[in-house]
Amino acid sequence: MKQKQIGFEVNHNEVYRCNKCGGAAWRVVWLSTGRRTITMEWVFVYCPTCDELRRQKYK
């Protein structure tokens, strides 16, 4: 499978708990597609421990 590299920016003031490892995860506020990630129910977060982007329920 071909993987696509993406760029993203996180907001270090908005901290969530990672659903996978339980560590700190920061909210992603911008993706390389140029789209903002603000939604009503879900947000994208980045967990540096897991090194993954994932969707989580908005707190």
Q: How many domains does the chain have?
A: 1
Closest by CA to 9, choosing from 38, 50, 39, is 38
Residue 3's pLDDT is what? 65
DSSP string of 8-56? EEEEEEEEEE-TTT-SEEEEEEEETTS-----SSEEEEEETTTTEEEEE
Residue 1, in any domain of the structure? no
Residue 3, in any domain of the structure? no
Expressed as residue numbers, the domain containing 44 is 8-57
Residue 2, in any domain of the structure? no
The 10s digit of each residue's pLDDT in 1-48 is: 666 667 778 888 989 999 899 999 998 887 676 566 555 678 888 999
What is the SS3 assignment for 57? strand
Residue 47, in any domain of the structure? yes
How many whole angstroms separate alpha carbon 56 and alpha carbon 19?
Answer: 8
Residue 58's pLDDT is what? 73
Residue 39, in any domain of the structure? yes
Residue 2's pLDDT is what? 64
